[in-house]
């Protein structure tokens, strides 16, 4: 029996726990998700290093999963644009059962090997793409079908699973095993297995974006200011990075479409926005390099 499906013997009377104890047990069990990701950190680092040149060459991140795992992939993919200005078309999410399965479970969709392969073909996966395949069991047929098709297309495949020896991790170019063990509620991998997947995907994509010069120091300088909150954040980040007065920072941001990177270089070097933008382009988007730091 898979670790994720094995009943946790220490919680055989979970339904009889007082509410306070029940809540504490469910919370405490989540700490094992962090431990599992920490143990997998070297593999996550290897995946970032392998993905970087493909992204620099114009490749895409393609997330594949079913159920909770698939929905977590969708979540990571859609957050890359507002956080790092990563183009929508370069973060593709393939979910067993289609986009509707994000909200309503599509029974049996995860068992379709052929559909996984067909969805990879439909997404026109190529050699520069990085395909992230997520499955708690590590043996979801839809995900395995996608994995094999992605490998045949020459893409880099990264498999995330919550069971040692899982096919998704073994067959991928890089396997990331998040060994979270038995769930407090037997088989409910939306609990700590899902939490570990969220942490691992978040860590992978965030580290990759740092390597792609989307961050200056620890500041999120390539965000898309698509609402009032993010406009205020862009102003705060620019003020923090440059020491400029808020009014001056806002004025420069308005000139460059609230692109924080450009505003930081323009204010720091006291140059026009267009010159700052050109410097950043020459520096491959690195604020530090554009500033000569």
DSSP state of 136: S
Percent above pLDDT 70 for the chain: 100
Q: 137: which residues sit within 8 A by CB, 6+ positions away?
A: 2, 4, 5, 161, 162, 163, 166, 189
Which of 110, 126, 246, 254 is an active site residue? 110
pLDDT tens track for 218-273 = 999 999 999 999 999 999 999 999 999 999 999 999 999 999 999 999 999 999 99
Q: 31: which residues sit within 8 A by CB, 6+ positions away?
A: none
Domains and CATH numbers, the chain: 3-211 (3.40.50.10490), 215-290 (1.10.8.1080)
pLDDT tens track for 133-186 = 999 999 999 999 999 999 999 999 999 999 999 999 999 999 999 999 999 999
Judged against a pLDDT cut of 80, whether residue 293 lies above it is answered with no
DSSP state of 114: H
Name the pTM for this structure: 0.94
Per-residue pLDDT band at 188 (split at 50, 70, 90): very high
Task: Reduce the DSSP state of residue 106 to 3 states and report it.
Answer: coil
pLDDT tens track for 201-214 = 999 999 999 999 99
- φ, ψ dihedrals at 27, nearest 5°: -70, -50
Which of 5, 21, 35, 79 is an active site residue? 79
Q: Can you tell me the distance from the alpha carbon of 82 to that of 64, in angstroms, rounded to the nearest whole number?
A: 21
Q: Would residue 79 show up in a list of annotated catalytic residues for this protein? A: yes
Q: Would residue 110 show up in a list of annotated catalytic residues for this protein? A: yes
């Amino acid at each position: 029996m898979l670790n994720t499906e094995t009943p946790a013997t220490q919680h055989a009377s979970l339904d009889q726990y007082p509410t306070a104890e029940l809540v504490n047990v469910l919370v405490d069990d989540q700490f094992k998700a962090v431990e599992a990701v920490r143990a997998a950190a070297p593999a996550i680092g290897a995946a970032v290093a392998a993905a970087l040149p493909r992204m620099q060459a114009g490749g895409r991140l393609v997330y594949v999963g079913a159920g909770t795992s698939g929905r977590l992939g969708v979540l990571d993919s859609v957050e890359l644009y507002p956080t790092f200005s990563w183009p929508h078309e370069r973060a593709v999410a393939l979910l067993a059962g289609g986009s509707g399965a994000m909200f309503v479970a599509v029974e049996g969709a995860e068992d379709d090997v052929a559909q996984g392969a067909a969805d990879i073909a439909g997404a026109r996966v190529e050699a520069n793409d990085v395909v992230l395949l997520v499955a708690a069991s590590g043996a979801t047929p839809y995900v395995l079908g996608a994995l094999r098709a992605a490998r045949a297309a020459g893409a880099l495949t990264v498999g995330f699973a919550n069971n040692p020896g899982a096919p998704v991790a073994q067959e991928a170019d890089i396997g990331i095993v998040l060994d979270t063990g038995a769930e407090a509620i037997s088989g409910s991998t939306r609990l700590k297995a899902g939490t570990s997947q969220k942490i691992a995907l978040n860590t992978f994509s965030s580290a990759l974006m740092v390597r792609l010069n989307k961050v200056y120091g620890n500041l999120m300088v390539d965000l898309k200011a698509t609402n009032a909150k993010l406009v205020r954040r862009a102003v705060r980040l620019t003020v923090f990075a440059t020491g400029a007065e808020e009014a001056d920072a806002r004025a420069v941001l308005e000139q460059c479409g609230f692109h924080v990177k450009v505003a930081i270089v323009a204010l720091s070097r006291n140059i026009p926005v267009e010159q700052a933008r050109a410097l950043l382009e020459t520096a491959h988007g690195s604020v530090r390099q554009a500033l000569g730091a």
